[in-house]
Amino acid sequence: MRDLHDGSLQTLAAAALQLKMISSHSKEKSQDEIDSVRRLILGEQRRIRAFVDGRQPSAPQQPVKLQNAMQRKAKKIEQQWGCPIVIKSIKPQDASVPYEIIHQIEFLVAEAVANAVQHGNASLVNIAIERTSNQVQLRIADNGRGLPGTLGTYSQAELVAMGIGPQSISKRIAELRGTLSLVSSHTGVDLYIGLACDDPPENKTKNKAHAFG
């Protein structure tokens, strides 16, 4: 159900927003924009139908390259929300993770961008990812207006106790036993996420921990 919320429902919300924007544009651009929204809706209809029918594709057994997967996801999100997504860094550049981890990262990024555009009026989102020997660290930063009436740095426990911040993201990370912290300012929201992700034994000597720059 959370996958439907952070995936399908956000895509349909993006489609609704694009339709609203089309109404204020000139007629010359309208047909292309309507076709774009139509493709979004048709694609999501197919995804929901496959989910309901139990025809979800089987998960790849081999690790997935973070760089390739995130570039594809960023392009799709840009088309949905009309908001540029910049992959600032992926360290190491050839980092790979199990499919289930990239699957979760894609949902987290999609939900974060949806929140940034809908609630923060953001026009740019930057993403940085660190792969260490036992964790994936993700930073998602937007240039919006921050959380309404909320400035400062908050831990996951504080966000839950105060009932603020991205609720779906917080719940997903809690289920994954990950970590979350949030920085809200007048220039946007920064999310810092950590997900457990152990290397196979043969790769542990190859990866070293890096800190965000």
Asked whether residue 32 falls in the same domain as residue 78, the answer is no
For the beta carbon of residue 117, count every other beta carbon within 10 angstroms: 23
Average pLDDT, rounded, for the chain:
83
Q: Which of 73-77, 141-145, 204-208 has the lowest mean pLDDT?
A: 204-208
Give me the number of domains the chain comprises.
2
Domain of residue 47: give its range.
1-57
Distance between CA atoms of residues 169 and 92, nearest Å = 25
pLDDT score recorded for residue 209: 44
pLDDT score recorded for residue 211: 43
Asked whether residue 104 falls in the same domain as residue 128, the answer is yes
Asked whether residue 11 falls in the same domain as residue 65, the answer is no
Asked whether residue 14 falls in the same domain as residue 87, the answer is no
Asked whether residue 100 falls in the same domain as residue 203, the answer is yes
Q: Is the pLDDT of residue 26 over 70?
A: no
Asked whether residue 195 falls in the same domain as residue 161, the answer is yes
Q: Which of 60-74, 95-109, 167-181 has the lowest mean pLDDT?
A: 60-74
Asked whether residue 64 falls in the same domain as residue 38, the answer is no
Asked whether residue 122 falls in the same domain as residue 175, the answer is yes
Taking CA atoms, 92 is separated from 67, 81, 203, in Å, by 10, 29, 13
Asked whether residue 139 falls in the same domain as residue 73, the answer is yes
